[in-house]
Amino acid sequence: MAVVAGWVRTSRKDDRLVVAAGGSWVVATTAALDGPLRAVDAADARTVVIDLAAIEMLDTAGAWLVVRTQRALQSVGRTVAVENLEPTFVPLLEQVVQNVVDGPPDMHPPPRRFGDFVARIGRVTVAQLTGGAALVGFIGLVFVTTLRTIRHPSRLRLTALFSHMEQAGVNSLPVVGLLSFLVGIVFAFQGADQLRRFGAEIYTVNLLGVSILRELGVLLTAIILAGRSGSAFTAQIGTMKVNEEVDAMQVLGLDPIEVLVLPRLFAMMLTLPLVAFFANVMGMLGGAIMAWISLDITIPGFLRQLRSALSGWTFWVGVLKAPTFAGIIALTGCYEGLRVSRSAESVGRLTTRSVVESIFLIILADAVFSIIFSYLKI
Amino acid sequence: MPSSPSSSATSRSEPGAARGAGPGTAPAIRLRGLETRFGRNVVFHDLDLDVRRGEVLGVVGGSGTGKSVLLRTIVGLNRPTAGRIEILGEDTARFGPAAWRRLDARFGVLFQDGALFSSLTVAQNIQVPLREHLDLPPDLLDGLAAMKIAIVGLPAEAARKYPAELSGGMRKRAGLARALALDPELLFLDEPTAGLDPISAAEFDRLIADLQRSLRLTVFMVTHDIDSLVTIADRIAVLVDKHIRVGTMSELLKDDNPWIHAYFHGPRGRAALAPKPEEA
């Protein structure tokens, strides 16, 4: 839309200052009008007339400028009259006159200071501690509910359990399998490169076997499932919180822990070891293929070497960690989901949080396992 | 100074009054042969509608008849499957992003729950369109935002608050302030009184009527609320059977379409219509 420019002209008649306004006084022209209006100098005039006769277009922003100028001149003791406004614009000007806020508006949050930083440290610390206490409470609650479900197994929601097993387990097989396969290839390639210098290429198989079966297979699976299913748990439960579905459940006499948390927890604990096993197989497969291509170790040769490399515990060390990781993922996911408030924005925030927390806790738990296993010498 | 205005909902300036030196007398919105479908579900078909400049058009219809879809289609959030949309005399069919940007500055939309940006304060929300479309110095931005906050009847402290700290009614008022930030010619309201208690709803109706009169707005209002229709709508458009029927309240009261009859002659309709709308 072509906007006619707005203009301001001042003229003097004895001790009267006439401020003539014309053209478009609309939001698009306010920036241009602002300067001239501030520059209006009523130093030796007693009365000021704001003559609006030539105004062609006026909106609230333009009217606001008129009123602001009027008030500014009044505040320094001038008599100000606003005249000759076209009648169609009068209601608009009245509307603005009633709503102009005097003085500099105070509408910005105060700037940050060093004290705020200290206060923030304190706030975060308290929040972490209370959050930790709430988490312990949640784990206890889940534990008690689990015991009750064990006594009354019929209360376990089987449909939900199988559906979550499908989503977390079966549907994650392609991505977990592919990634493990690739990691197997990369490990075989890098390991072979280093070990060749000692003429010990055959030990690539040992490297693969130990690292994938003990650590990488299960860790990779847990991290992928934390990103895939842990986040889904938080988002699903969080959305239900936003829709007040969790409240509705409670009012209907359903226990949200029993209905929402236990199926996810059990599904995770049952499927993660299986998916981790699949990841182990795919990782070894990738390693075996790479060994065959770059080291000329045939598949039967690979298997023979692998058998000699592994102690009875190697495989179980990996698989034993799986249910723990599964518990971490499911509990963190559900806990953060239940912490969602009624705003949609908190769903996103807590989902991110749940993923970061579970990956952090998984790696922490893995370190603890390493220490325990090294004490046990397995 | 002009005398203070008498705020009565009925003595409104005549509909169709041209706004300032605004262009032409083309209707604010002109729809011709509009069709929208999602997959095989036809929401409306061959729909014609004119919204005159300066009027308040209330749009009603049963749940699922596509009132909100119509609003979203007109403002460009949905593409119609067929038909023509003219807003403020401009055909939007071949609009590129730049043309939409120009047009976006000329209408405002109040979404159902205000749709305020949750990471910004109310004042910052109101300043978003001003910053986006114009280059204004900070003190002008603040002054204009403070005025808009006062115009929609929010207390001055609301400026610093975040949307989550406001009640539903206040969020709608803040959303209205943002919709009015650029002084649009055309205002779209999606269920402005839904979720408000009757007192707040009546106040909001009065606010819209008051602003419509003083700012000479054209208002396209989707609503369920018969009281709103009675108080502020000049004409009413009813979405029935994928088409639209437009008329004044008294014309629609005589309409014998079963849905329209049930709507205006049902218990709620009768209750809203029974006492003649009084001067506020």
pLDDT tens, position by position, B127-149: 998 888 888 888 888 888 888 88
Place of tokens 């993660």: A272
- The yes-or-no verdict on residue A16 having pLDDT over 90 is no
Looking at residue B188, what is its pLDDT? Answer: 92
- How many CA atoms are closer than 13 Å to the CA of A67, on its beta-carbon side? 25
A105 chain-B contacts, CB cut-off 8 A: 123, 142-143, 145-146, 156, 159
Looking at residue B169, what is its pLDDT? Answer: 86
SS3 B248: coil
Q: Per-residue DSSP letters for A100-164?
A: PPPSS---SPPPP-HHHHHHHHHHHHHHHHHHHHHHHHHHHHHHHHHHHHHHSGGGS-HHHHHHH
Looking at residue A218, what is its pLDDT? Answer: 94
Domains and CATH numbers, chain A: 6-99 (3.30.750.24), 124-376 (no CATH)
- For B17, the closest chain A residue by CA position comes to A88
Closest Cα to residue A74, out of A98, A46, A34? A46
SS3 B240: strand
A95 chain-B contacts, CB cut-off 8 A: 5, 151, 210-211, 214-215
Cα(B65)–Cα(B235) distance, integer angstroms: 19
More confident residue, A292 or A344: A292
SS3 A206: helix
- The yes-or-no verdict on residue A236 having pLDDT over 90 is yes
Which helix H or strand E contains B260, and what residues bound it? helix B258-265
Could you tell me what percent of chain A has a pLDDT over 90? 41
Q: Average of pLDDT values for A307-317?
A: 84
Give the fold, CATH level 3, of B29-106+184-273.
Rossmann fold (3.40.50)
- For A99, the closest chain B residue by CA position comes to B150
- The yes-or-no verdict on residue B177 having pLDDT over 50 is yes
Looking at residue A327, what is its pLDDT? Answer: 95
- The yes-or-no verdict on residue A350 having pLDDT over 90 is yes
Looking at residue A3, what is its pLDDT? Answer: 61
Cα(A202)–Cα(A304) distance, integer angstroms: 11
Looking at residue B24, what is its pLDDT? Answer: 53
- The yes-or-no verdict on residue A122 having pLDDT over 70 is yes
- The yes-or-no verdict on residue A111 having pLDDT over 80 is no
pLDDT tens, position by position, A65-83: 888 888 888 888 888 888 8
The answer to whether the Cβ–Cβ distance between A31 and B143 falls below 8 Å is no
More confident residue, A37 or A4: A37
pLDDT band at residue B11, thresholds of 50, 70 and 90? very low
Looking at residue B272, what is its pLDDT? Answer: 74
Question: Best mutation site among A107, A340, A345 for testing chain B: the one with the most B CBs within 10 Å?
Answer: A107
pLDDT band at residue A103, thresholds of 50, 70 and 90? low
Q: Could you state, in order of their start, the residue ranges of all structural domains in chain B?
A: 29-106+184-273, 116-182
More confident residue, B110 or A41: B110
The answer to whether the Cβ–Cβ distance between A60 and B215 falls below 8 Å is yes
CA angle A156, A161, A163 (to 5 degrees): 145
ipTM above 0.90, yes or no: no
Question: Best mutation site among A3, A25, A27 for testing chain B: the one with the most B CBs within 10 Å?
Answer: A27
pLDDT tens, position by position, A327-343: 999 999 999 999 998 77
Looking at residue A77, what is its pLDDT? Answer: 82
- For A2, the closest chain B residue by CA position comes to B23
Structure tokens at A82: 């606003």
Q: Distance, in angstroms, between B183 CA and closest chain A CA? A: 6
Looking at residue B276, what is its pLDDT? Answer: 54
CA angle A85, A86, A92 (to 5 degrees): 80
Question: Strand ranges (DSSP E) for B173-242?
Answer: 186-190, 218-222, 235-240
Looking at residue B248, what is its pLDDT? Answer: 86
Contact B248, B234 (CB under 8 A): yes
Looking at residue B4, what is its pLDDT? Answer: 41
Question: Best mutation site among A29, A56, A60 for testing chain B: the one with the most B CBs within 10 Å?
Answer: A60
- The yes-or-no verdict on residue B168 having pLDDT over 90 is no
- The yes-or-no verdict on residue A7 having pLDDT over 90 is no
Could you tell me whether strands A6-13 and A16-25 are parallel, antiparallel, or unpaired per DSSP bridges?
Answer: antiparallel
Q: Average of pLDDT values for B252-269?
A: 82
Which helix H or strand E contains A50, and what residues bound it? strand A47-58
A68 chain-B contacts, CB cut-off 8 A: 143
The answer to whether the Cβ–Cβ distance between B137 and A34 falls below 8 Å is yes
Looking at residue A274, what is its pLDDT? Answer: 94
**Which of A30, A104, A107 lies closest to B140 in CB terms?**
A30
- The yes-or-no verdict on residue B254 having pLDDT over 50 is yes
- For A83, the closest chain B residue by CA position comes to B1
A26 chain-B contacts, CB cut-off 8 A: 183
pTM of the shown model: 0.72
Q: Distance, in angstroms, between B143 CA and closest chain A CA? A: 7
A97 chain-B contacts, CB cut-off 8 A: 1-2
Could you tell me what percent of chain A has a pLDDT over 70? 97
The answer to whether the Cβ–Cβ distance between B146 and A94 falls below 8 Å is no
A96 chain-B contacts, CB cut-off 8 A: 147, 151
The answer to whether the Cβ–Cβ distance between B106 and A1 falls below 8 Å is yes
Dihedral of CA atoms B234, B235, B239, B244 in degrees, nearest 10, equals: -150
Contact B130, B185 (CB under 8 A): no
Looking at residue B18, what is its pLDDT? Answer: 37
Could you tell me what percent of chain B has a pLDDT over 90? 8
pLDDT band at residue B12, thresholds of 50, 70 and 90? very low
B121 chain-A contacts, CB cut-off 8 A: 107-109
Closest Cα to residue A26, out of A58, A70, A68? A58
